[in-house]
Chains A and B, each alone.
Chain A
Amino acid sequence: MLFLLPALVLLGALVVYPIGYSLIRSFYNANGDGFAGVDNYKAIFTDDGIRTALKNNVIWVVFAPTVATALGLVFAVLTERVRWGTAFKLVVFMPMAISMLAAGIIFRLVYDQDPDKGVANAVWVGVHDTFARSSAFPNAHPGRESPLTADQGGFITRTTVHTGETVALPLVGVAPDQMPGGARKAVAARSENGRITGTTWQDFTRGKGVGRLGTPDPSELGYDGMRIEAVKNGQVVASTKAAADGTFTLPAAADGARLRLPASNFKQPYNGVDWLGPSLVTPAIIGSYVWMWAGFAMVLIAAGLAGVPRELLEAARVDGATEWQVFRKVTVPLLAPVLAVVTVTLMINVLKVFDLVYIIAPGSSQDDANVLALELYRKGFSEGQPGIASAIAVFLLLLVIPVMWFNVRRLRREERR
């Protein structure tokens, strides 16, 4: 009995006693001097902050374990087919060894909003700009004595234009590093019979009073790719894009129209996704959790996979089953017990998730990313609400009791064998 004593004393004082204490404490008010009945439990379901936490916990418990397990399964099955499978497993499993704090800092860097700093947005913006070129002229606007005036987010000529004329559409304000790479020296357009020609360019030469207003100077650049619309009675009758030197040509249909540089030319460049903003913060943090724990699922499932008799898979293949059918009809059913254990383990783990949310969610969206474990910490240690915190603790404990029971039952069955 002496062998057992230290363990039992420590377990009793540090694990069992707190359970009883929390249970009792959860029925008392904040100061602990008045009986509060079930008020603290009611708060879990009525307090807005706690309800957000509860809702997020449901999202966590549903998605994080299933995604991690599914990825683990796919990785475990696929790594069997490459020679460097062990190295791959090591890479995916490695995050298990580091602290959630370190993982949190790692992902704080990954999710940085600025596409020049956060790798997630750098990749995202890269992909986005490949498929949808963002406009090239943010902040462009008419200068002094301009023939242009603001219109629907873009700019329009004050007067109508006619065939044979040349039109000048000067703007200022585009930062030199934001000019399109292909832009060349602006050139004054030559007039053409039966057409409208013109130039749109950056009418600004560095240095005060240098260059003439309203005329392309040798140092000024054309607005390469600027879209120009001819508008008659509110209808677009013709449109074109400026060449690299800023010149453009419109057909006779534009005769008598006003020329507009539509708003699409002046949108701010695409700045990526606000990963840690209120709406995406929880999925983003779940992503970092999956990064940490998919390796755990993979290793356990791979161990299960090693126990699957190869002859069974071979037999199915000989019978003409495709790889997908073998996976779906043979491998997965045989692995079902392992998958269940992994998923349940991760579910318990997810209920307790604290560090990742605490570290990754910036102050401004921490309320939106809230989870029960974090709310418990806040209520208990910064808001002076140990009663409610204890109720949350008991609630968490109730959620793991089915697993407790399952463990005990499994053990007793094993003992009997």
Chain B
Amino acid sequence: MAFSRRGLLAAAAAAPLLMRVEDALAQGIQPKRGGTLNSIVNPEPPVLHVGVNNQAPTLIVGGKIFQGLLRYDAKLNPMPELAKRWEVSPDGLEYTFHLQENVKFHDGQPMTADDVVFSIMKFHMEVSPRARGVFARIKEGVAVNPTTAKFTLSAPFEPFLLMFDVTVSAIVPKHLFDGQDYRQAPAVSKPIGTGPFRFVEWQRGNFIRLERFADYWKPGQPYLDAIIYRVVPDSQSRRLALESGQVQLTQSNDIEPFDVPQMRARPNLEVRTEGWEYFGPLMWMEFNHRVKPLDDVRVRRALTMAVNRDFIAQRLWFGIGKPATGPFHSATRFYDGTAKSAAFNVEEAKKLLDAAGLKPNGQGVRFAIKHMSLPYGEVFTRLGEFLRQSFRQVGVELQLESVDVGTWAQRTAAWEFDTTINYLYQYGDPTLGVERSYVSTNIKKILFSNVAGYSNPKVDELFTQGRDSADPKVRQTAFSAVQKILVEEAPLLWLLEMSFPSIYDKKLQNVITSGSGIHACFDDVFLA
């Protein structure tokens, strides 16, 4: 892997520098009460209820209103949130959570183990496709006493403890949902959680206003009086709002990657790219294996060799994120760094295409395929153009198609594409976030399934082994083997381990303190 010097510098600048309240105290920065944080939300979420809607903006704003049982550090170790401690039985079947005392919902009702059991066993089972896939394995969930909840699995499931972040299974008030249609209950448009900030006002198209919850269970916290999320739809206007100090924090896709270097250069702004480890977003080029010659492994390997992934990371994303090495994000558990997809090599790529019987015609073109650009902003258009250029070097013509979000979602789900770009969260564990893209049982006409149509019985078997074993060693063996097979067969063209810049005024403290970064509840954030 050929890192440029600039790349190394960018990587060093992005090294995790997690600072918690204790660290800040050690450095002599006393948390200060008061102040309003102005930030940006983009795109505007349709509703703010985490669970009913799981779009990134909903999770970022909703993450201040709601909390989960646990949160996670950058290495994905669980840390206490609404659960102050937890035990797992030696057979890996029983999970017992001991809850914090004196936790109240924003309507003044106490939060108890009943709410926890309701949230996990009923609410998220009903509304969240991702949660129900895992929570369906729970045989029984009971509230042992008001501060203890116990879940018994029908079979061991090693990644179970990763499922309790606010972004997956926020604890919701049972008394406001039980017996109603969860998606249409009044509490969806007026969200009530246990978080440090309560929902106050939402002028659509304008701003969302959250205010300090006085009865928050951590005494003296949160430090901020209010958080205001302004809706600013244009990326250049967002940049101006940040530069002029009208907002003190931007996150996620707010600032385009090509604007980030200028933000780094400003002395009053801090740019951080960590805080996405829990999600592990991996971006790839989707091949439709039903389209010839993409069914030929030699062609897919050749196309992999034709693309310089370092260039994408450094020149298109300006060092935000890292070149992908294979099907696993390097923050995902059981990542095997020895399994690497074919390196950038134009000459080898041409030889492979020759071997596949695809000779160039008079214009030097071996074959043409279409590419549906991902309609998520300017940078993906640039990526499409770069890929077209890269493929042209090996004699493959990539014809770009522009579509809007609705068309992209519909055509990708219906397998109506040759190639496209997609990125998926891996959620820290291959069983939770990687398996779905490769196993043949998940070849479905639904987004985020195996829409490529890749199928290999050995891969299916290894993913099943990894899923069903309670032993991390067995899982590592299975997942290492599967990574080796996948990088050889190149079912997809992995491009980038994505990250997103959190940019904020240096006066703002404790912004990124966990593996889920900007989604944290901000009860320890303060303006110095």
A binds B: no
Q: Spell out B's residues near A (CB within 8 Å).
A: none
